[in-house]
């Protein structure tokens, strides 16, 4: 094999496919199946959540937006979603990421735009099928040391696990809890990051709605907290009253792999690191994957 990709979340899978597109033979080694990763928990509507302004990040986000827009309606789980973002405080102008969004508009106290939305479980399965169809090999195995991998090139897309693998003390978890409810007919996503009771997002999907959320810095507890779930439902319903009484389907908790200084996408000897995307893994995945492929090719 030419390259081993370590990790099977959205960053690892897209990197593996970009490497295959460049002619590499690729093996994915991962402790978890794609459907068991934090990527599968994500509400996954394009937005650079908890990522600071950075020209590299804007480039990756733009490339990813374009890739998902091209896949909308053809790849499983991918669509374009109209979005309202409630702006409660005065702002000097559009956000730094607005150039990536063709229809961004400031409309009387709201930002309105259309962005890609991805139902991650079917999409991750689709990516794995594509990878296997290209001749890729998936190996489920936990790696405790990068030196345990015998490969000329390694892509480290292990998210929070990179903290132990690399000793990178800039990595830290941001706990996210969400509630999934029946969809009462909603088609527009809503964001309200400055709601007085806590951050709100309402993300409709084909059969349900993801209600969030929490951004609990440094908290690595993946236990569902009933009081937190009740609070999420209450403030989401305050923003979108049609959610009142919507039956709850499930509760989910994920740990976003945040990193002080932003995502690490760089070469170290035979390893290309690609981790630390916080809550923006889906938003930056295809752009990051292209960068990874370029770094691998350079050697």
User: pLDDT by residue (tens digit) across 63-72?
Assistant: 999 999 999 9
pLDDT at 1 over 70: no
Report pTM: 0.96
**β-sheet bridge partners, residue 148:** none
Whole-angstrom distance, CA of residue 211 vs CA of residue 83:
14
Query: Any idea of the CA torsion for 66, 68, 72, 75, to the nearest 10 degrees?
Result: 140
CB contact at 8 A, 157 and 5? yes
Domain ranges of the chain: 3-298
Q: What is the pLDDT of residues 139-179, one digit of tens each?
A: 999 999 998 898 999 999 999 999 999 999 999 999 999 99
**Mean confidence (pLDDT) of the chain:** 96
Q: What is the pLDDT of residues 253-264, one digit of tens each?
A: 999 999 999 999
Instruction: Give the percent of the chain with pLDDT over 70.
Output: 100
Does the bond joining 213 to the residue before it have cis omega, within 30 degrees of 0? yes
Average pLDDT over residues 51-68: 96
What CATH number does the domain located at 3-298 have?
Answer: 3.30.9.10
DSSP 217-267: ET----S--HHHHHHHHHHHHHH-GGGTTPPEEEEEEEEEEEETTS-EEEE
pLDDT at 177: 97
CB contact at 8 A, 148 and 28? no
Q: What is the pLDDT of residues 72-87, one digit of tens each?
A: 999 999 999 999 999 9
Q: What is the pLDDT of residues 203-251, one digit of tens each?
A: 999 999 999 999 999 999 999 999 999 999 999 999 999 999 999 999 9
pLDDT at 141: 95
Q: How confident is the model at residue 299 (pLDDT cuts 50, 70, 90)?
A: confident
Average pLDDT over residues 51-71: 96
Q: What is the pLDDT of residues 187-216, one digit of tens each?
A: 999 999 999 999 999 999 999 999 999 999
């Amino acid at each position: 094999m030419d390259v081993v990709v370590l990790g099977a979340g959205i960053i690892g899978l897209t990197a593996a496919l970009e490497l295959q597109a460049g002619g590499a033979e690729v093996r994915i080694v991962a402790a978890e199946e794609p459907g068991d990763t934090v990527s599968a928990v994500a509400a996954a509507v394009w937005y650079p959540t908890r990522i600071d302004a950075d020209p590299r990040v804007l480039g990756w986000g733009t490339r990813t937006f374009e890739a998902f827009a091209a896949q909308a309606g053809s790849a499983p789980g991918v669509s374009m979603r109209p979005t309202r973002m409630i702006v409660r405080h005065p702002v000097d102008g559009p956000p730094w990421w607005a150039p990536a969004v063709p229809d961004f508009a400031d409309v009387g106290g709201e930002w309105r735009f259309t962005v890609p939305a991805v139902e991650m479980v079917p999409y991750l399965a689709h990516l794995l099928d594509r990878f296997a169809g290209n001749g890729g090999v998936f190996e489920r195995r936990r790696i405790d040391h990068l030196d345990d991998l015998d490969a000329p090139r390694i892509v480290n897309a292990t998210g929070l696990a990179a903290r132990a693998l690399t000793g990178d003390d800039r990595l830290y978890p941001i706990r996210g809890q969400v509630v999934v409810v029946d969809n009462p007919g909603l088609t527009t996503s809503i964001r309200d990051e400055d709601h007085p009771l806590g951050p709100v997002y309402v993300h409709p999907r084909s059969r349900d709605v993801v209600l969030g959320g929490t951004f609990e810095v440094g908290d690595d507890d993946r236990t569902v907290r009933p009081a937190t779930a009740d609070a999420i439902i209450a403030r989401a319903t305050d923003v979108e009253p049609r959610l009142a009484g919507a039956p709850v389907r499930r509760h989910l908790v994920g740990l976003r792999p945040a990193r002080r200084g932003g995502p690490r996408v760089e070469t170290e000897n035979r390893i290309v690191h690609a981790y630390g995307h916080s809550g923006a893994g889906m938003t930056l995945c295809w752009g990051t994957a292209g960068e990874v492929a370029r770094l691998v090719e350079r050697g």
